[in-house]
Structure 1
């Protein structure tokens, strides 16, 4: 009963409202609908919204597309995470019906908590997820990529789906090691990751919502036993360190530990799968740029930044105004939703010269906002960058004549952007 109510408030009702607004010509609703169809028309709609100015007023709220406006919305204390449906009677219903197991977009997930809880929580987590700690994973990530490519060698000359065989396997295997998952449980956690990743998206159908909820509940139960094991037998993995980390004698609660692990699994999996798939497609479709990287290997780090800029794994995010304020000179009333189009900010012609061109040597590619900004800047950004660099470099070195075949299909997701399938012929 509660799950059906929560689905209705979190997915069913918003989908219905968006459908009606799209039918009436609302550009924001059309953008979200087009995203769910898995087409490449999203960027055309982003530019249509941009043509209305840095802030577009839709039937749903406001939409920011310029680099400056998006950054302002994401960093200003005038905004916080949340939805209008989290307020008033709908909010009370949503909180009553919300799942009691972990969920990456339910408190205490770092995605949706705000100060002062967010400040304490993130300070503890960032003590473990440091740049140095992530960089120590490089050698192991290279080994995982090499093993996956070794397994693909016998299939050279035949068709293979790169998403299922490579793009998904690399990040979820790395995540399993970050979480200290014993070998016997790896396959199970891989299944959790695949099933739970859609939890980040808007507008799930009831059947998908239930399958995601089951996966999160099963992961929650497994994680409780796993955390108990790590307390008794800590390893050198990052989750073991997170269990032990303290600030003024206090550490993370059981719920916060679970929420962090769930966020690493869901957010760290899907977005990196998208980064790898989008990056492979961009390099395939731009052979001259690929040749530049081959001739100058240090450019691989910039390839990742340019792929994140031009075809980001996350199209948009949202914030709600907590007080009357302004964005780009336009008034925004308290309680109003502002959607920040990350894909729009990343193609702002005032910041990026010739913004629709894929340029592996673009000097300011790293100025993208693909990882959000402000206090909710992606905690796993450095790990995603590392996996993107290692994963893209490894596959193109092993299969320099890789050829994508017809039949590629985008995910039918509204917020996330990536490939569901990416058929290819591998040539040694």
Structure 2
């Protein structure tokens, strides 16, 4: 590891890791949530402990909230802005060092849309938004259906499979690869890069995970250099070609945008499909209801997004002195907002731990955030997951778990690493789209 990268890890991840682990040993719920194994496997009891401490709670590294009303207000309040993980309470000399040695273009540092505010955010988001309009999503629907059906045909009738590797990961990576003009044969590389780089969204990751992520990003950076040059010579009809020919973003900005779209267009949907399979297999009464009332499939996806959010948390920083929930926050104070906690707020959702595919206000969840940073690809993720889940259960009506699903050792992105199933006999009738 380059010396500056080691120092970055120590500044950005090592110090928070030490604080979180120390506080976790003392029983601090937020620290246990962010830095311990329970935060990966079953974060919800810890979130409820945090909720019990108040609407806005001071923690070892930031303020935190699991309150739906308060979180929604913060996400929509222009007095709060986004910030990258490395900004958490770093002393000024360390912050200057971090800014002096940026990482290769990636989703967690500027100019990624994820961590910049208007007007820079508006400049980066505007040229990308055309790829995610309702009309554009409708055009992608046929391709999603084709990819899904091809993958289902490849699954062994009467056999077993890991549904993450064989299905849930393959649907979104195929679509986002085509949207960015990547050759189909390169999909395997993107899966590996995604697995390596996503820990950077967490706080307090190990030095090994940090080094693996940086190694993957440097390889991806070289790949994107070559891919963008090819698109400059021979642009296609994909979104990245449009950005290249428009000339609004420099190469660094193009690579940051491409890496963000790769991550956001893939990781969230993988988790959503996997979480949906487990929820439905764990609640056979709800699966039976969907078979009797297939028009509920879109709402079932909203309920999966609510009850087991594939994105668990985000953060906002006060851009000025602000008073919220009766507490005065100073400029620069960070609030970690638990989207998963907001989604289970009993003040908004009746019997919030119950999985109900017919829940009338399921769509009031905050999994895709809110305000100017609401997820650009939310409609695409919904469409992909709705069709993929319905098609899977239509094609394999006797699908069962073949062993305990294995959670990913991540906090921010919440999903399964492995999902072993017995498929049962394949039904002959293709699924009928409900989206």
Please give the range of the TM-score, normalised by the shorter of the 2 chains: over 0.9
For this pair of structures, how many residues does the alignment match? Answer: 420
Q: CA deviation at 1:335?
A: 2.2
Partner of residue 25 from structure 2, selected from 17, 23, 36: 23
Superposition pairs for residues 324-363 of structure 1, below 5 Å?
Answer: 324-363=321-360
**Cα distance in 1 for residues equivalent to 2:385 and 2:296:** 13
Tell me how far 1:332 sits from its aligned partner.
1.9
Match of 1:205 in 2: 206
In the other structure, the counterpart of 2:4 is: 2
Secondary structure, counterpart of 2:198 in structure 1: helix
Q: Which runs of 5+ in 1 are unaligned?
A: none
RMSD, matched Cα = 1.8
TM-score where L is the length of structure 2 = 0.92
What displacement does 1:286 show? Answer: 0.9
Alpha-carbon distance in structure 2 between the residues aligned to 1:84 and 1:205? 17
* Alpha carbons 2:268, 2:311 under 8 Å: kept: yes
Equivalent position SS for 1:307: helix
Distance 1:34 1:186, change over 3 A: closer
Aligned residue for 1:57?
A: 58
Report what 1:120 is aligned to: 123
User: Aligned to 2:41, which of 33, 39, 42?
Assistant: 39
Secondary structure in structure 2 of the residue aligned to 1:136: helix
Partner of 2:106: 103
1:90 and 2:101 correspond: no
Distance 1:147 1:197, change over 3 A: farther
Match status 1:236 vs 2:237: yes
The structure-2 alpha-carbon separation of the partners of 1:129 and 1:87, relative to structure 1 and needing over 3 Å to count, comes to: farther
The structure 2 residue matched to 1:280, chosen from 277, 282, 290, is: 277
Could you tell me whether the CA contact under 8 Å between 2:51 and 2:67 is conserved in 1? yes
Alpha-carbon distance change, 108 to 36 in structure 1, aligned in 2, over 3 angstroms: farther
Q: Which residue of 2 aligns with 1:302?
A: 299
In 2, are the aligned partners of 1:134 and 1:383 still within 8 Å (CA)? Answer: yes
CA distance in 2, matches of 1:228, 1:7: 31
Q: Could you tell me how far apart the structure 1 residues matched to 2:341 and 2:138 are?
A: 30
Q: Is the 8 A contact 2:61 2:88 kept in 1?
A: no
Q: Which residue of 2 aligns with 1:196?
A: 197
Deviates more, 1:209-218 or 1:107-116: 209-218
CA distance in 1, matches of 2:162, 2:253: 36
1:370 maps to 2:370? no
- Taking structure 1 as the reference length, the TM-score comes to 0.93
Query: C-alpha distance in 2, partners of 1:316/1:103?
Result: 19
Q: CA deviation at 1:241?
A: 2.3
2:287 corresponds in structure 1 to 290
Cα distance in structure 2, aligned partners of 1:367 and 1:413: 25
CA positional deviation for 1:226? 1.2
Tell me which moved more, 391-400 or 176-185.
176-185
Aligned pair 1:262/2:259, yes or no? yes
Partner Cα distance (2:264, 2:38) in 1 = 18
Unaligned runs of 5+ in 2: 426-435
Change (3 A) 1:208 1:315: same
Conservation of the 8 A alpha-carbon contact between 1:84 and 1:335: no
Within 2, Cα distance between the matches of 1:407 and 1:415?
A: 21
Q: What whole-Å deviation, never above 9, does each CA across 1:142-193 have from its counterpart, x for those lacking one?
A: 11111111111x2x43432111111111111111111111234343334333
Conserved? CA contact 2:61–2:89, under 8 Å: no
Instruction: Choose which of 364, 384, 387 in structure 2 pairs with 1:387.
Output: 384
State whether residues 265 and 381 of structure 2, in contact with CA within 8 Å, keep that contact through their aligned partners in structure 1.
yes
For residue 38 of structure 1, give the secondary structure of its aligned residue in structure 2.
helix
Distance 1:199 1:174, change over 3 A: farther
- Rounded Cα–Cα distance in structure 2 between residues aligned with 1:22 and 1:284: 33
Alpha-carbon distance, 1:37 to partner: 5.8
> In structure 2, what is the equivalent of residue 225 of structure 1?
226
Deviation string 1:361-395 (CA, Å, 9 cap, x unpaired) is 11111111001111211111111111111211111
Distance apart, 1:86 and its partner CA: 5.5
- Please list the CA deviations of residues 172-215 of structure 1 after superposition, one character each: whole Å capped at 9, or x if unmatched: 11111111112343433343334333333333222222222122
